[in-house]
Structure 1
Amino acid sequence: MPAALPSRLRLQGEIHHVALRGHGGRPLFRANRDREALERIVGELLAEFTARAHAYCWMTNHLHLVLEVAPGQADGFQCDLIARYSLQRNTGAAGAGPLFEPAERALRVNADAYLLQLIRYVHLNPVRAGLVRDAADYPWSGHRTYLGGGGPPWLSTDLAFRLLGGDLLRAAAAYRVFVAPVSTRVNRETLVTSLSYPGRY
């Protein structure tokens, strides 16, 4: 179990798990350009809300984002994300209906205890879904960035690396071990303050 956040690492906002699913299980992305558009929109919203993202994963019919945002702003961020991406995705699509399932509230996470576990949970989604055997082979998550492989400029790794300890190289190595295949057995019920909502994933 990782240690609680040291005082020098106390968050400026709250950590939330944003998880959104396509309406009726429909794909959220037609092509990679849609994923790239989503990344651009997320970057714009992070700047507007003065927020940070600590992990993300764009799956076929759902998405995950680990968001640090000021108290009371998570739902506004999520609503704006849904509206902007839906507008972009449905532009020119004949008869386009709702893109997302009705959104539940972004779930606030106990960051002191579970930030690292939540990052791992999000980045291992493609492995659990059977899309890849190694999370590093999936191009649409923050996992590669944590391994030093680049990624969107808005993804923040510094907090997780400080929690993992040591200099950058040692923290990256510790992250690699932390997200080893055995860690796919994650019990999400321990990650959030409340998981009583049906249909979460």
Structure 2
Amino acid sequence: MPRQPRSFPSDSYQHVISRGNRRQKIFESEEDWARFAAALVEELDAEGVILLAFCLMPNHFHLLVKCIQAALSSAMHRLLTSHAAYMNKKYGRTGHLFEDRFKSFQCAPEGLLPLAAYIHNNPVRARLTTAAGDWPWSSHRDYIEPAGQGTAGKLIVLSGIDKDPLKAAAFYRSYVETSIARPGRPTPTALDALCAKIEREGGHIAGLIRQRSKRHDITGTRRKFIESALAEGHLPSEIADFLGLARSAISRYRSPGANVNSRDCP
């Protein structure tokens, strides 16, 4: 009996991942990459799914999408089936190209920036390139196009950073460059998103409060981040690890109304 398509909540954001069967390559030539990238946009658009970010890799791909009409399964089924048939016919193969079903993880709106950066930095982490902008098969270049240009999906992410398109694009570029130093998957609903929000409000470039600067304005913003993180229920140990500080440096902020001036802030 055929498996039923999975349903996704309308207006939800989803991180989609699909890998080649047994980690095999899913592209062989530049024509294969280009054909898949074009089909991706076409199939998602046909089902009312907005593509916010993507990155194609030799044996897998990542997408960040918004499901307007909850029809992600139909679009992905057609996309993967069509590409598998194309590759098998072109290269005289048989069998499955992709492993089982695609995976998907729901993302909160405040996590869009960390997740987009994580997706666009995939080629850098895999050592296929030294900078996200050098990889041709992702939407990163679209994000750093002049203000007012690019896809609707890009504008959804950047509008959550700053109302000024130029400031949003500049912050995004800095965030991508600095976030590559953070290992592992993003934690988009937690400290990463809070850090990005407070750095924007303070007028700082992404990642600045995680550096060891003693500038008065930076220590003040760092203090605000620590206090906000504690107020949201994060453990001092989590915050310390995130900032690269001693845990004792965070514990001072646990008492409401603690009298801590900027010189005391780590």
Is 2:116 the partner of 1:130? Answer: no
Moved more, 117-126 or 155-164: 155-164
Q: Deviations over 1:119-156 (max 9, x none)?
A: 0110000111111111111111111111118xxx7662
Q: Deviations over 1:4-41 (max 9, x none)?
A: xxxxxxxx621111111111111110111111111121
Contact 1:120 1:179 in 2 (8 A): yes
Higher relative contact order (CA 8 A, sep 6+): 1
Moved more, 42-51 or 63-72: 63-72
Structure 2 match to 1:188: 185
- RMSD value over aligned CA atoms? 2.3
TM-score by length of 1: 0.79
Aligned-partner SS, 2:160 = helix
Aligned with residue 101 of structure 1, among 84, 99, 102:
99
Relative to structure 1, is the Cα distance of residues 107 and 78 closer, same or farther in structure 2, using a 3 angstrom cutoff?
farther
Structure 2 match to 1:195: none
Aligned with residue 25 of structure 1, among 23, 26, 48:
23
1:94 Cα deviation (Å)?
2.0
Aligned-partner SS, 1:97 = coil
Aligned with residue 62 of structure 1, among 40, 60, 63:
60
1:178 Cα deviation (Å)?
1.1
Contact 2:41 2:51 in 1 (8 A): no
Is 2:12 the partner of 1:49? Answer: no
1:104 Cα deviation (Å)?
4.1
Aligned-partner SS, 1:177 = helix
Distance 2:21 2:89 in 1: 17
> Aligned AA for 2:83?
Y
Is 2:172 the partner of 1:175? Answer: yes
Q: Deviations over 1:71-128 (max 9, x none)?
A: 6422232222211211222223323221001124422212x22111110110000111
Is 2:142 the partner of 1:145? Answer: yes
Relative to structure 1, is the Cα distance of residues 74 and 128 closer, same or farther in structure 2, using a 3 angstrom cutoff?
same
Structure 1 match to 2:113: 116
Segments of 5+ residues of structure 2 without an aligned counterpart are 1-9, 190-266
Relative to structure 1, is the Cα distance of residues 72 and 161 closer, same or farther in structure 2, using a 3 angstrom cutoff?
closer
Structure with the larger helix share: 2
Contact 1:124 1:184 in 2 (8 A): no
Aligned-partner SS, 2:63 = strand
